[in-house]
Amino acid sequence: MTTKKHDSGTLYKVEHLIEASLKVGAIKLDPDHPFTWASGAKMPIYNDNRLLLGDFETRMLVGRGFQQILQNNNIHADGIAGTATAGIAPAVTLANLIQTPLAYVRPEPKAHGMQNQIEGSLPSHSRIVVVEDLISTGGSALKAVQALRDAGFSVDHCLCIFSYGFQRAVESFKKMDCQLHTLLTFPQLLEHCKTMGRFTPNQLQLLSDWGENPFEWAHNK
């Protein structure tokens, strides 16, 4: 039996993340047949980054991307905290790469036991970086940021795999004085699709229109 050899030194390139996401269906684009989000809104894109977990190289690609963000922006992290539940796995990968303590943050404190909201052991009064998988409005990530701050930690940065780029999220992070760093944004995704000829000009225009006005897009389509 031959054991598959993995490259744990996989370097991050946005093109690789886009192709991996499209291949496994972590990102789906269909301007002609929009998806219904939990809010009931019709959108031409759907994201499920949990589908990126199945492949070792892809997990490392995400982790190396986060590590690169920390290095490029001179961000010091005494610990990493993932958001429950989708932010936990990429947080683990990053924490392993930079060899730092790890925890995760629940949306609400447990109703039993120790009633913890923050699970894990982080150095007291230390600088923590939050890891989220997807940013839409930013609500869940910023809730984790606030929980960590309330517990006495310093949190100035949040990392995420993919962001739709909604203005609401931009304003929310600014209001919370927390910097958002994203591996992949919707404009980067759209530009790659244009370059690779993945859609017709009309479909690309529909996607571009959504990026400009996502919450009114279905009404104007």
Closest CA to 162 of 193, 131, 191: 131
Residue-wise pLDDT for 158-194, tens only, equals: 999 999 999 999 999 999 999 999 999 999 999 999 9
66/55 Cα distance (integer angstroms): 17
Q: Which CATH class is domain 14-220?
A: alpha beta
Can you give the residue ranges of every domain in the chain? Answer: 14-220
- Residue 26 burial (CB count, 10 A): 24
pLDDT of residue 215: 87
Residue-wise pLDDT for 48-67, tens only, equals: 999 999 999 999 999 999 99
List, as one string, the DSSP characters of 25-41.
Answer: TSEEE-TTS-EE-TTS-
Q: How confident is the model at residue 221 (pLDDT cuts 50, 70, 90)?
A: low
**Over residues 129-149, mean pLDDT:** 97
